[in-house]
Amino acid sequence: MGENTLKSLFDLLIPKDKSKTSVNDIRLEFVRFRKLLENSRALMSLMEDAEEKMRGEYIFDRQYVLSLIDESIEYMSMAAFDLSVIAQDASEMIYGLVDELKAFTQTYFIERKKDIQISSPFIDLAKTTSSEPEFVFLAQVLAWMKGPLPNGNVSVTEFVRQVFDKAVPALKKADMSNPSIHLKKLAHSTLNCFHLIDMDEAVKSKMELSIHELKCRPLITMLTSNATANHSIAQESADAKWLALMEHDRLSLRGIINSRDILIEVTQSGYMDADFMFMFISHPLISNTLFPQNFKTLMTDKAIFGWSYHLSDYQIEQSLTHIGTSLFN
Amino acid sequence: MNEELGENQMDKKLKIMIIDDENIVGKRLKPALEKTGDYVESFEDAKKALERFNSEPFDIVVTDIRMDEIDGLEVLEQVLSKSNQTKVIIITGYATVEVAREALAKGAFDFIAKPFKPSDLRAIIDRAAKRSAS
């Protein structure tokens, strides 16, 4: 099925009227954003894999390089679909970008795969000390993945930047004024605009919860951190509106601080392969000290976002304490 | 006693044949495997490799599964029909798990997926040599 057909079908299935938000919409969005994170992570992993192969310890062939291109396109197509669910307005732009990236790989990689040499637009970009065609090929594909590319060509990294710049601002925030949501309020002296949705609980029994009644581990850690606070951030964030989507080991915390979006996504299951943290903050950045030290970060036109994967339970606790102290203490 | 015999046989230098139509594989594997003193020949053309094997058997044959004229499965069959003492190790590419399974069923010693480190292949070769010796 072509992407345009898929998109038309998608437009038919998803109604345009977004005025009424339900808990199911929020669940759908929660799951889809997690998928978007998975697909973006897969793209980053492909890049890391390619960088590892460039170091020369591995035996690889052209087929490996071609499979990197195929997999990148596949993950970008899936990420485009995820974004279309979260931000329908971005659908046309992002599918256009995927088409552009596909066309680029066709022209510069697929059609040249039998006669590999460093050529435009990679002359100053592809870094390799080996003259083996496989290394030259991989160096060019890696340059396409990492970017930036000349002449307005879009790299895979730039694609990821644009996806998050569109996706995060489109996520539902705490200022929803819809009675069907049944938001719970967090009873906390300094966090009077903190709303909660318990994703594990179908029936909403209480409308107000104390911190001690929370079951979401990552949120509890953030709110009960007692290290010394960075008062400038804490003061600013005191006026923030927060929405926390909670499961026992997963948290999506979305905030608006002085019209800036802030998003923190965490899975803290105790399984290192599954656990991760992701954080997105719109410009102007409140403080770059908000990102824990083990985070990799990427700057976009609108924001800075960072992530960290394969974390131990202790590392997650430390990172959450760091962020929680900065924001809420 | 058997263990002693095994260790003695392990000291013997191996004759290893590499078959892969991608030039880079033989070019990089050959020096890596020769480091331990083993004798290594590499071929891009499976037909020429089989002719060479027919004139003189090798202890280990490392062959890519997907090649143009003669594929790895055919190499496996021909090698084992000539010398059932030879251990054949299959190099697989991408999405070829089924073919690798078929190769194991047909008598391949093991398989390794690209991309791989020469040290990973060396570990398989050492196991194969140990198996031959026991």
- pLDDT one-digit tens code per residue, A46-76: 999 999 999 999 999 988 999 999 999 999 9
Identify the band that residue A204 occupies on the pLDDT scale cut at 50, 70 and 90: low
pLDDT digits (tens, 9 = 90+) for A165-192: 999 999 987 655 555 555 667 765 555 5
In this predicted structure, what is the pLDDT of residue A235?
A: 64
Q: Which of A53, A57, A63 lies closest to B94 in CB terms?
A: A63
pLDDT digits (tens, 9 = 90+) for B8-38: 455 679 999 999 999 899 999 999 999 999 9
**Residue A154 predicted with pLDDT over 80:** yes
Q: Which residue of A has its CA nearest to B30?
A: A59
Q: Which residue of B has its CA nearest to A131?
A: B24
Counted across chains A and B, CB pairs separated by less than 8 A come out at 39
- Measured distance CA(B118)–CA(A58) in Å, rounded: 7
Q: Count CB atoms within 10 A of the CB of residue A17.
A: 5
**Looking at residue B77, what DSSP letter applies?**
H
User: Is the separation of the CB atoms in A323 and A264 below 8 Å?
Assistant: yes
Q: Quote the pTM value.
A: 0.83
- Measured distance CA(B65)–CA(B110) in Å, rounded: 12
| Residue B30 forms contact with A (CB below 8 Å) | no
pLDDT digits (tens, 9 = 90+) for A298-323: 999 889 999 999 899 999 999 999 99
- Measured distance CA(B134)–CA(B125) in Å, rounded: 14
Identify the band that residue A259 occupies on the pLDDT scale cut at 50, 70 and 90: confident
pLDDT digits (tens, 9 = 90+) for A95-109: 999 999 999 999 989
Average pLDDT, chain A: 84
**Residue B5 predicted with pLDDT over 60:** no
ipTM score assigned to the predicted complex: 0.80
| Residue B115 forms contact with A (CB below 8 Å) | yes
Q: In A, residues 230-289, which contact B (CB 8 Å cutoff)?
A: none
Q: Which of A149, A155, A156, A98 is nearest to A121 (CA)?
A: A149
What are A252's strand-pairing partners?
Answer: A245, A265
User: Is the separation of the CB atoms in B65 and B43 below 8 Å?
Assistant: no
Q: Which of A64, A132, A133 lies closest to B115 in CB terms?
A: A64
Q: Which of B93, B117, B121 lies closest to A63 in CB terms?
A: B93
In this predicted structure, what is the pLDDT of residue A194?
A: 80
Chain centroid to CA B117: 15
| Residue A64 forms contact with B (CB below 8 Å) | yes
What is the nearest CA distance from A131 to chain B, expressed in angstroms? 11
